[in-house]
Amino acid sequence: MDSGMISKIQKAKQYAQERERIQFTEFTVSFQGNHNNYTVEYNNGKWHCGCDFFATRGVCSHTMALERVLEGMLAPSS
Average pLDDT over residues 60-78: 89
The Cα–Cα gap between 35 and 15 comes to 36
42-56 per-position pLDDT tens digit: 998 999 999 999 999
pLDDT digits (tens, 9 = 90+) for 1-42: 788 899 999 999 999 999 889 999 999 999 999 999 999 999
Q: Where are the alpha helices (DSSP H) in 18-73?
A: 52-57, 61-69
Which pLDDT value is given to residue 46?
A: 95
- What are the residue boundaries of the structural domains of the chain, listed by start? 24-78
Q: Is the pTM of this model over 0.85?
A: no
* For residue 78, pLDDT beyond 70: no
User: E-assigned strands of 1-78?
Assistant: 26-32, 37-43, 46-49
